[in-house]
Amino acid sequence: MSPSPIQVTVSRIESLTPVIKEFTLTAQDRALPGFSPGSHIQLQLPTPSRTLKNAYSLLSDPADLSCYRIAVRLQESSRGGSRYLHERVREGDHLQITPPANLFAPSSRAQHHILIAGGIGITPFMAYRTEMLRQGISHELHYAYTGGLTHAYVEALQPAPNGQVTTYDSRRGERMSIEQILSGQPLGAQVYICGPERLLQAVQQTAADLGWPEARLHWEAFAAPEPGQPFQVHLARQDKTLAVGADESLLEALEASEIDLPNLCRGGVCGQCVTPYLSGQVEHRDNYLPPSDQSRALMPCVSRGACNSTLVLDL
């Protein structure tokens, strides 16, 4: 069962950089629910071809429920969600969102939080920092971006006694040394990563080299699903065949024909949309299923069938 959507008005749009816009969303008919730092919402985008649902981190102050703020980077290779937001959505427009859910919460047991952001990955940490500064929680932020392109919020990030800020502008050749960041940390340190896949991998690798167990690492891995090849899917129980287009996900194709599956992240991490399949080749793109389950189940929010065989789902 998916929670009922919330109607919001886009009350303000601000261009932060040539490729990043901030959207302020205000509730129409009811108060906005409270949220914790690291939470995201799903935004429904009625693009001309179909309705997309994209997940965005909330960056606004969790203590302020008069509005939610998100920031969206225009993605060149995207399936149209970010382009729609950048080019079609206007102040005063009405949109639908899901209530916030959190798959990237700070650990209550950590004594020092190391936040590592790449580009638009700064967004969840904006909410983290607001809360950590208010509560006096020890943290440090490392933020890599490209000056003049993805430098959103750089000026707003003021260092504090309990929260240092280090920025790295690639235009100026400033490089983040993950090894230096992780070395010499206290035993109570845990690290949070949000940014491109290669940043995540680099931190994971360095942490492993230094002997940090995985439990010290937290990451926000989801992104809008990547496009792929078109493929066919057959629903065994309903005896129905659907075509999934190159730039839509299997989950979206199912939803378009009124088959609603539970889902939270739409990015292959939460495990909600797990669906059994009976035959066919699957391109697994999620971060959830253990390899042992991959021969029986898939995550339709990101994973796809191969283009030359029909995928048969147990639905």
Q: Which two tokens stand for residue 21?
A: 């816009």
Within 8 A by CB and 6+ apart from 119, the residues are 73, 144, 145, 146, 150, 195, 196
Taking CB under 8 A as the binding criterion, the range among 120-128, 194-202, 222-230, 268-276 that sits at the site for other proteins is 268-276
> Does the protein bind ligand FES through residue 268 (CB under 6 A)?
yes
Choosing from 60, 82, 123, 263, the residue that interacts with ligand FES (CB under 6 A) is 263
CA gap 146, 96 in Å, rounded: 32
Strands 112-118 and 139-145 turn out to be parallel
Residue type at position 84: Y
Closest to 150 in 3D by CA, of 21, 261, 243: 21
> Does the protein bind other proteins through residue 36 (CB under 8 A)?
yes
Give least dist CB 158 to ligand FES, A. Answer: 35
8-state DSSP, 210: T
Taking CB under 8 A as the binding criterion, the range among 29-37, 42-50, 74-82, 247-255 that sits at the site for other proteins is 29-37
Choosing from 32, 78, 288, 305, the residue that interacts with ligand FES (CB under 6 A) is 288
Question: For residues 39-78, which are near other proteins according to CB under 8 A?
Answer: 39, 62-63
Q: Which two tokens stand for residue 61?
A: 């102050």
Size of the site for ligand FES (CB under 6 A): 14
Choosing from 20, 114, 301, 315, the residue that interacts with ligand FES (CB under 6 A) is 301
Q: Is the Cα torsion angle 42, 228, 73, 181 positive or negative in sign?
A: positive
Give the residues lining the site for other proteins (CB under 8 A): 1, 3, 33-36, 38-39, 62-63, 99-102, 105, 107-111, 135, 182-189, 210-216, 264, 270-272
